[in-house]
Amino acid sequence: VHPAPAGSPRWRLRADAPTAGAGPWDAGRLPVASARGEGEWRKGAALVKALRADLGGGTLQGSGAWQGQGWRFAGRVDAVDPSALHRSLAPLPLTGPLELRTEDGATDFDVALQAGAARTRRPAPRAQEQDDWLGAAGALELRSAQAEGRWSGDALSFRQLRVRTNDATLEG
């Protein structure tokens, strides 16, 4: 993290956080290879000018700011390989917009991801026998996911949900 004065009462912040040994959650690893951000602190308010996380062979990019009593983030997922996040998912890179808004401890979200052309799955060591049934059943091929809803405390609610795989659709 590199703070620098940017004129009173403003601070410019820059962070670059590479990680060692990125890998899928189910292998006990963090799927983020690196994260970089740039922002400002102005009179007690945070402004994220740019955020970029390299994960799953793709990126998550966006920006955000405090707005009223909450936080707003608008970003984009670009070519993130789900199989690099969790080995039970097929290597169909996902791309699409992501929007988050928080206020009073609740987070509203709106996401619309679409799968692209399949990538070759990288062989990953399987640490436990329970993973064998996932391999036998085949990886889940996520084709698209659209969700709009709210996460508040331990409750997750959807105003809209549509998830499509190669052989099923979930709507609600």
Q: Write down the residue that tokens 């928080």 correspond to.
A: 102
Strands (E), 45-141: 45-55, 58-67, 70-80, 94-103, 106-115
Provide the pLDDT confidence category of residue 136 given band limits of 50, 70 and 90: very low
Q: Report if pTM > 0.85.
A: no
Take residue 2 and report the two structure tokens written for it.
């590199």
Closest among 29, 40, 54, 55 to 2, alpha carbons compared: 40
CA 19 to chain centre: 16
Residue 46 near residue 54 (C-beta atoms within 8 A): no
| Higher-scoring residue by pLDDT: 120, 29 | 29
Average pLDDT of the chain, as a whole number: 86
